[in-house]
Structure 1
Amino acid sequence: MKVIQENLGQINNQSVFSYTLKNDDGFEVTAINYGCIITKIMVPDKSGQVENVVLGHDTLKEYIEDSSFLGAVVGRVAGRIKGGSFELDGTTYTLAQNNHPNHLHGGIKGFNKVIWDAELMNDGVRFTYLSKDGEEGYPGNLSVEVIYRLTNDHELLIHYSAQTDQKTLLTVTNHSYFNLSGNLKRDVLNHTLTLKSNQYLELDQGFIPTGHMADVENTPFDFTSERAIKTGAESEHPQNILVGNGYDHPFLLNANHENEIVLQDPESGRALTVETDEPAVIVYSGNSLAPEGAFREVPSRKYLGICLETQALPDAIHHPHFPSIVLDKGQQYATHTKYKFGLIEDKID
């Protein structure tokens, strides 16, 4: 196992480094300490061709200017909070309305837009950050740790942990856009997805959960059997149309650490299995990717990548029947997600 550190540049006289993790078989993941952004994941296809399977850029400037949360850790609260405010113990906290009129992915300068401290490990890198009381409107001094580790089984392991000195809200995730075609040769519409999920959250016009947990049966949201992403893009279901013809929905997981999320690209033969201890995954099929700019010289367009955001349910603070995202003083926040890359014909245990 190798970990290679390189200087990528500076922001306000603070150095930004990239960290490339390589296992013994050549599988590699590159991340930077700005936003804990994953910039590359190099994976072989069925013919052995090693290519990148996430959207990314080559320069720090492009990541600074990025508005798509590309490859980043997002928080304090991943997803939207209705109205950009919430109440805890009788006190109302006002957040940035950066997805007007709502709050999205931690705000204007969330976890994705700050420089984290980094420490090299034998098989990975540990990122730490102190989110101070009042940052982006959230209460409490929050100490956050994110660890990226590689295994020799082509697995990327992400461990999140945190503690606060005051009651606050917390649910974080990684916002990588996957494209298993390799080097963005094609969009993800012909990728297939399988989920262990019987329900998804219905969204309102602002993409905020209404609170209704809808059954997936007999809808384009039924991924209990393998389904192509394009069925959502082509669907006339009001919920698919609402989010820009596709998916941007939370799915409630029936199982954890049991191959509960499987993404495949039949043409390249690549497969990605995601396992987590989170209650949900937000499936976002890149419907809002703008038709301007580029990712390493590949023009940006809709459906160029798909996010699989493992996390708690969005806007949970306003829905008492959702699992709580309140983190108490002295309570330990800890959650794990594993991304295992392989080939479709492989049996993934």
Structure 2
Amino acid sequence: MKKGSWVKAALTSAAVCLGAFGIGQLNNEQTVDAASTDNGQVQKFDKYKGHQVYEYTVENKNGLKVSVLSQGGTLHGIYVPKGPKDKRNIIMSFKHTKQYYDKNGKSLYVGQQVGPVGNRIKDGKFKIDDKKYSVPTNEKGNTLHGGPNGYNSVRWKGETGTYKGNPAITLRHTFKSKYTGFPGNVKATTRYVVTDDDKVQVLMNAKTDKDTIFDPTIHAYFNLGQEKTINNQVLTLNAPQRLDLNKEKIPTGKFINNIGKYDFSKEKPLKKHLDPMKKTKEGGFDTMFSVEPDKNGQIAKLSDPKTDRAVTFHSKRNGLVVFSGQSFNKKIPFESGKGHKYGAIALEPQMLPDTANHPSFGDVSLKAGQSKTKTITYQIDY
């Protein structure tokens, strides 16, 4: 697409967004500059269920590029600036939108925004100030990743531009309570920002007209290397404990100290952790770690010694879900090739799962008239 075409598309998208939200309802924090830039573009990706899906792309001065799809607000690519023969996209993606939602991809939530609350809510029920709420369920009577009508289910309106001087993609959507089943009509804004020191920041903001809960995350799967599995990559976590879970993967409220295969405090190949997990029923990690951000907000680091690539994860929240891709198989046609068991690892910063039913875990409430932003930062090194 020519520069003039994508700028026109961005401006048109911005106008649509302003019309949907009302100019008087936007504050300086929510306003985005959709003027002509040299580092962003909007392109038609494909169609899904008869609707056009757009791909938004921005790039920093070093050539680090981020791609996001309007459908599901999906993080489609983080491309490191190395030679064309390298596998440059360090996250998993699909060639076609429908593959994110078909029978093979649907349960994986590849790259998608999940919300308004990530992970599981027991029985789809919770309380806010002693008032009981029941929301739609979609997994064994529980609510997973926002339920059947969550963040990943909608077409977001987006644009490219800048945010605080950095290249940015801004997505907006108003979630009506009658659609989501959650209390409150929520105006959501998500920004993907790329800084010149190679940080990818995801800023997820929401404002509601009724008390509700809010704790979204990004379900991105990482493989930093050129190999088909993550076995030789290294993961470290600032996580002395993990949550005890019942058979439906709902927290019991108890914590377990991380020792042995669950101890990620020292650098060693993921294979050393995964080999013992192969003997378990799960066959890998689908684990809710209790993390303690350091003074810089770091909770985790994934690195690949062979390519010298690394991603450091920063979050102020106390949870990190780690899923090691044990359900991947050759029937899953990723853009990089057929799926392989342990072909990538999902690292999802959030509050501890089911916090709405465990006040001791923290606070995921969003009060009427209140605006909150949940931030995830990926520091990319290459």
Q: Same fold (TM over 0.5)?
A: yes
- The answer as to whether partners of 1:257 and 1:276 remain within 8 angstroms in 2 is no
- The separation in 2 between residues aligned to 1:289 and 1:137, in whole angstroms, is 31
Aligned-residue Cα RMSD (Å) equals: 2.3
Tell me, yes or no, if structure 1 residue 19 matches structure 2 residue 59.
no
Q: CA deviation at 1:8?
A: 1.7
Match of 1:57 in 2: 94
Given the superposition, is the C-alpha separation of residues 193 and 47 from structure 1 closer, same or farther in structure 2, using an over 3 Å criterion? farther
Where do 1:177-196 residues align within 5 Å?
177-182=221-226, 185-196=227-238
Match of 2:202 in 1: 158
- The answer as to whether partners of 2:261 and 2:274 remain within 8 angstroms in 1 is no
Tell me, yes or no, if structure 1 residue 84 matches structure 2 residue 104.
no
- The separation in 2 between residues aligned to 1:83 and 1:91, in whole angstroms, is 16
Match of 1:243 in 2: 282
Match 2:354 to one of 297, 315, 335: 315
Which structure has more helix as a fraction of its residues? 2
- The separation in 1 between residues aligned to 2:354 and 2:173, in whole angstroms, is 24
Q: CA deviation at 1:227?
A: 3.4
List alignment gaps of at least 5 residues for structure 1.
344-349
- The separation in 1 between residues aligned to 2:270 and 2:203, in whole angstroms, is 28
- Normalised by the size of structure 1, how large is the TM-score? 0.89
Q: CA deviation at 1:101?
A: 2.6
Corresponding letter in the other structure for 2:233: H
- The answer as to whether partners of 2:189 and 2:206 remain within 8 angstroms in 1 is yes
Match 2:292 to one of 253, 256, 266: 253
- The separation in 2 between residues aligned to 1:253 and 1:48, in whole angstroms, is 38
Match of 1:211 in 2: 253
- The separation in 2 between residues aligned to 1:46 and 1:261, in whole angstroms, is 27
- The answer as to whether partners of 2:77 and 2:93 remain within 8 angstroms in 1 is yes
Corresponding letter in the other structure for 1:8: F
Given the superposition, is the C-alpha separation of residues 135 and 178 from structure 1 closer, same or farther in structure 2, using an over 3 Å criterion? same
Q: Between Structure 1 and Structure 2, whose CA radius of gyration is higher? A: 2
Q: Deviations over 1:199-230 (max 9, x none)?
A: 211222111112112222x3322212123322
Match of 2:188 in 1: 144
Where do 1:262-341 residues align within 5 Å?
262-296=301-335, 298-341=337-380
- Mean Cα deviation higher: 11-20 or 53-62: 11-20
Given the superposition, is the C-alpha separation of residues 61 and 236 from structure 1 closer, same or farther in structure 2, using an over 3 Å criterion? closer
- The separation in 2 between residues aligned to 1:337 and 1:17, in whole angstroms, is 23
Corresponding letter in the other structure for 1:288: S
Q: Deviations over 1:151-209 (max 9, x none)?
A: 12222111111111111111000111000014xx3211221111122121122211111
Given the superposition, is the C-alpha separation of residues 103 and 289 from structure 1 closer, same or farther in structure 2, using an over 3 Å criterion? farther
- Normalised by the size of structure 2, how large is the TM-score? 0.82
Q: Deviations over 1:280-335 (max 9, x none)?
A: 21111112335522102622232111111111111111212110212111222112
- The separation in 1 between residues aligned to 2:55 and 2:363, in whole angstroms, is 34
- Mean Cα deviation higher: 147-156 or 296-305: 296-305
Q: CA deviation at 1:89?
A: 4.4
Given the superposition, is the C-alpha separation of residues 177 and 22 from structure 1 closer, same or farther in structure 2, using an over 3 Å criterion? same
Match of 1:33 in 2: 70
List alignment gaps of at least 5 residues for structure 2.
1-37
- The answer as to whether partners of 1:81 and 1:102 remain within 8 angstroms in 2 is yes
- The answer as to whether partners of 2:319 and 2:353 remain within 8 angstroms in 1 is no
